Structure 1
């Protein structure tokens, strides 16, 4: 029997609709069953460093909570952008994740050509940890307080050198904002990494150093350095006796590097929500909290993914303005 043309079209659309519903149903089943195989967590920096250690510590507990192993893979290079780009272009199925750092907030301003947009092509699942920047001086430095240090450097504009963990890190950017607010002129010595900067700091090549606590802590315990302030709006529980720059008269300067759990942007919201829930559980683990605290990280509570995304945009806008104002580039 021949169908009228419009009936044939209706039959075709109905068949296509049923096929689409079948695909959607299978996709929904895949999401509901996730994860059914191991998950890869990309760390965009070398193995053995603090970022890698945080990733492996969280991955172990996250895997236990999810019921599938979370395997850490290091893809370093280009200031963290190689690993981040890899995840940004991965299948958005929840099986390839990124250990995100503050480079997500700064890279698009520092590199002319990125193969991805850090905030558009990736989405946060959880905020894992933060670690604020401190202002360090050697034990023999004459200033005992931040105000004394500023008085010394202001008396000799442009004659004092200082450094930070590396150019365009939040330690460097925070130092630029701080000295601008304080009206002090110093010369920043750029190093490729914190190891050489630390060696020269201890050797007396420069007297003032902006850096997070972890690499400096052994020297603090040995009595070779002192922390004058933390570059944040509040004191850090890592070193509660050290005042914040805010309480010393310089508010709204928060140089706080962070670590986030990121996924490709199109990852289903249900999977992102499940990642967030299980990351929160992992962060409550005594083993995770103790290990991260030993590295001088403040453990976060995971946060709400939408709120973390909004915060990342705010951080990016804030530090992007500093980068543009000082015409900083890394390529």
Structure 2
């Protein structure tokens, strides 16, 4: 009887001990050390086929090759990217569900009065993969061959010239809003469902300018269908070396660059974050990876999770200010 009572006491003590231990602390050492030991899912909050999806699939394949586990791309488009972001924010923070973010992630806190997650607190930054910069292109019929000539023309024709963009909050929309604000012009926003429709409208001269990503703008530029006036990065684009930056064109402080990067749910173990950061950082330094990025008019970046977190906070504040000044209303 005494022996049975003693065994019961030991069992109850062990049960109480584990019940009082945080879940993350119980098997954490083993699980982190063996990470990853099963497939990783990267949620991409856009449809398949765009530059964001291509980037995620390319990097996902490289992660799979390096870590020896499948990486599954899960496209969850809709609601400006909030559907995919919400799914990851609510997922188990174990490193097996990640979020691939693009510019809308830092715009949505302004555009939506209520989000099903906190853009900062519900995620743990892993690494910034690349910046997506833009090129300002114009219809060939526009009587301007430089940014300053375009500004002069627009001021002579207020509210009579149009720009196209893929809805509110897209990077092209933000670029045009910033252009209106810094140049003191009043191009009218014409929204479209997708970039192909915007390009078609530009070629038809339904709109006069478009802040486009280089990968789709360059073929049109090379074919002579549109003219490139400036790029929105801090430096000239290697694929368009003859095209000045907006700053070089006379607009001080003008920069539009939307990052692509990887987040994990808040609470993901720091060693897992560090391992992912180191692995993706190594991938981004590989010569063949750099070559692939250059072919898409992009530059691989990298950096620490802490720096990425700072960039996210900075972008949220920057775009909220621009959208507010432009009179864009939250939904």
Task: Tell whether the structures are fold-level matches, with TM greater than 0.5.
Answer: yes
- Structure 1 SS opposite 2:42: strand
| Residue 160 of structure 1: aligned partner | 161
Superposition deviation, residue 326 in structure 1:
2.7
Describe the shift of the 1:13–1:297 C-alpha distance in structure 2 as closer, same or farther (beyond 3 A).
same
Superposition deviation, residue 87 in structure 1:
0.8
Structure 1's unaligned 5+ residue stretches are: 3-11
| Residue 316 of structure 1: aligned partner | 316
- In the alignment, is residue 74 of structure 1 matched against residue 75 of structure 2? yes
Distance 1:116 1:303 in 2: 25
- 1:50-61 correspondence runs (5 A): 50-61=51-62
Superposition deviation, residue 71 in structure 1:
1.2
| Residue 9 of structure 1: aligned partner | none
| Residue 43 of structure 2: aligned partner | 42
CA contact (8 A) 1:234 1:247 kept: no
Distance 2:113 2:86 in 1: 15
Describe the shift of the 1:45–1:136 C-alpha distance in structure 2 as closer, same or farther (beyond 3 A).
same
| Residue 265 of structure 1: aligned partner | 266
| Residue 6 of structure 1: aligned partner | none
- Structure 2 SS opposite 1:214: helix
Distance 2:163 2:21 in 1: 63
- In the alignment, is residue 191 of structure 1 matched against residue 192 of structure 2? yes
Superposition deviation, residue 99 in structure 1:
0.9
CA contact (8 A) 1:136 1:225 kept: yes
Give the aligned CA root-mean-square deviation in angstroms. Answer: 2.4
Distance 1:281 1:20 in 2: 39
4+ runs deviating over 3 angstroms: 12-23
Distance 2:100 2:267 in 1: 17
- Number of residues paired by the alignment? 323
Superposition deviation, residue 284 in structure 1:
2.1
Superposition deviation, residue 205 in structure 1:
0.8
Superposition deviation, residue 103 in structure 1:
1.2
Describe the shift of the 1:144–1:22 C-alpha distance in structure 2 as closer, same or farther (beyond 3 A).
closer
| Residue 202 of structure 2: aligned partner | 201
| Residue 304 of structure 2: aligned partner | 304
- Structure 2 SS opposite 1:216: helix
Distance 1:249 1:293 in 2: 27
| Residue 240 of structure 1: aligned partner | 241
CA contact (8 A) 2:145 2:229 kept: yes
CA contact (8 A) 2:93 2:267 kept: yes
Distance 2:22 2:175 in 1: 53
